[in-house]
């Protein structure tokens, strides 16, 4: 019993000791969280911002869009981030979450990112439709008006004009914004427009990728996907356009619904698998954190054509 009292008092004392040291973040540094797709662009802006002005360089974390918004909406004060990057617009539920903590996010749209379905430079460039991609990767496919397990083994099973190679696709993990966007823009879109399914139905049966070995989940590291595509000529990978652009001597993007991915086709919307990119500033921190508004303005001034962001693969608003 004695030792239990000792233990309890020990825990109690150390708690008091630690809670007395309350140190906040250094208040002159902007803290940014959010999407891993926007991360490379955000870091370019941050570096130039710090070098061109007297403000300190912001600290940028790549937490994923969902995680970023959660941290962003957690509260006002130095321990919470000032900006969150997002590869989709903020959801209604997230807005409510923010509002309940008294936060008003200001939205900035910086441009677009395309999602590519690519293979090795040495292999044939395929021309696919969204439905064909859906049939290759979805866990369930449409057969006589019913959703059944996907049994397509080779691309020619889907469409006889496609080559007779086994379906082998590397997909990003569920935590990634690229995966969310791919599911929404290719899989849900197919079920909605071609199979005329209701929102509830397509969300339930058109969201899962197949697990029989034809689709492999790769990690968040897109460089690894590109290495694996170069090693196996019959393999396809799903990743953002900026990575295709940086590695165009190793991989090439398939034509989807008749359009090949390029800066111009994504910007004018003719390449259909693309999504808008955003960042959100916490209005309540403007004026408190030095340089916050200036950083936002600077980001927008770089999100144009002929800018370093375009060189890094961002497709600016036309």
Partner 1 sequence: MIRKSIQSRRARETRLKIYGITSICFALIMLATLLISIGLNGYSALQQAYFKVDISVNMDKLVDDSGTINKNKMNLFNWDGLVKSALREFFPEVKERNEKKELFAIISANAGYDLKEIVKKKALGSGSHTLSVWLHLSDDADQYLKGRLSIDIPEEDRRINNKQIAWVNSLVERDIAKLKFNKTFFTSADSREPESAGILGSVVGSALTLFVTVMFALPLAVMASIYLEYFAKPGRITDFIEVNINNLAAVPSIVFGLLGLSVFLSTFGLPRSAPLVGGLVLGLMTLPTIIIASRASIRSIPPSIREAALGLGASKMQAAMHHVLPLAAPGILTGTIIGMAQALGETAPLLMIGMVAFIIDIPTTFTSSATAMPVQIYMWSDSAERAFYERSSLAILFLVAFLISMNLLAVVLRKKFEKKW
Q: Which residues bind partner 1 (CB under 8 A)?
A: 3-4, 7, 18-19, 21-26, 29, 31, 33, 39-40, 42-44, 46-47, 50-54, 56-57, 59-62, 78-79, 81, 121, 220-223, 242-243, 246-249, 308, 312-313
CB 90 within 8 A of CB 107: yes
Nearer to partner 1, 7 or 99 (CB): 7
Nearer to partner 1, 53 or 151 (CB): 53
Closest CA to 57 of 85, 29, 33: 29
Residue 76 to residue 94: CA distance in whole angstroms: 15
Nearer to partner 1, 24 or 146 (CB): 24
β-pair type (105-120, 83-86): unpaired
Nearer to partner 1, 81 or 237 (CB): 81
- Minimal distance in Å, beta carbon 109 to partner 1? 22
- Minimal distance in Å, beta carbon 31 to partner 1? 7
- Minimal distance in Å, beta carbon 56 to partner 1? 7
CB 109 within 8 A of CB 317: yes
274: β partners = 114
- Minimal distance in Å, beta carbon 160 to partner 1? 31
- Minimal distance in Å, beta carbon 59 to partner 1? 4
Nearer to partner 1, 220 or 234 (CB): 220
CB 236 within 8 A of CB 170: yes
Residue 153 to residue 167: CA distance in whole angstroms: 6
- Minimal distance in Å, beta carbon 192 to partner 1? 32
Instruction: Report how far Cα 59 is from the mean position of its chain's Cα atoms.
Output: 19
Burial class of 122 by CB neighbour count within 10 A (0 to 12, 13 to 18, 19+): exposed
Nearer to partner 1, 195 or 290 (CB): 290
Residue 82 to residue 64: CA distance in whole angstroms: 16
- Minimal distance in Å, beta carbon 53 to partner 1? 7
CB 68 within 8 A of CB 33: yes
Cα R_g (the chain), whole angstroms: 23
Nearer to partner 1, 10 or 194 (CB): 10
């Amino acid at each position: 019993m004695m030792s239990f009292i000792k233990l309890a008092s020990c825990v109690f004392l150390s708690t008091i000791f630690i809670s007395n040291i309350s140190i906040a973040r250094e208040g002159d540094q902007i803290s940014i969280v959010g999407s891993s797709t926007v991360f490379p662009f955000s870091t370019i802006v941050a570096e130039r911002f710090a070098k061109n002005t007297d403000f300190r360089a912001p600290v940028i974390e790549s937490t994923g869009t969902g995680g970023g918004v959660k941290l962003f909406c957690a509260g006002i004060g130095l321990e919470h981030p000032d900006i969150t990057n997002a590869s989709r617009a903020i959801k209604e539920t997230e807005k409510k979450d923010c509002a309940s903590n008294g936060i008003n996010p200001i939205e900035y749209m910086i441009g677009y990112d395309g999602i590519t379905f690519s293979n090795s430079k040495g292999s044939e460039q395929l021309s696919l439709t969204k439905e064909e991609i859906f049939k290759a990767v979805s866990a369930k496919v449409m057969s006589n008006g019913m959703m059944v397990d996907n049994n397509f083994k080779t691309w020619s099973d889907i469409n006889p004009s496609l080559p007779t190679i086994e379906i082998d696709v590397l997909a990003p993990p569920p935590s990634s914004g690229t995966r969310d966007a791919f599911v929404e823009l290719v899989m849900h879109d197919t079920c909605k427009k071609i199979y005329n399914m209701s929102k509830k139905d397509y969300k339930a049966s058109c969201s899962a990728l197949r697990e029989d070995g034809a689709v492999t989940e790769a990690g968040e590291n897109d460089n690894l996907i590109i290495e694996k595509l170069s090693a196996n000529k019959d393999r396809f990978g799903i990743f953002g356009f900026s990575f295709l652009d940086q590695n165009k001597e190793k991989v090439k993007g398939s034509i989807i619904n008749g359009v090949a991915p390029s800066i111009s086709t994504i910007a004018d919307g003719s390449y259909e698998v693309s999504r808008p990119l955003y960042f959100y500033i916490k209005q309540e921190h403007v004026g408190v954190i030095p340089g916050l508004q200036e950083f936002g303005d600077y980001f927008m001034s770089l999100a144009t054509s002929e800018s370093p962001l375009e060189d890094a693969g961002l497709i600016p608003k036309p």
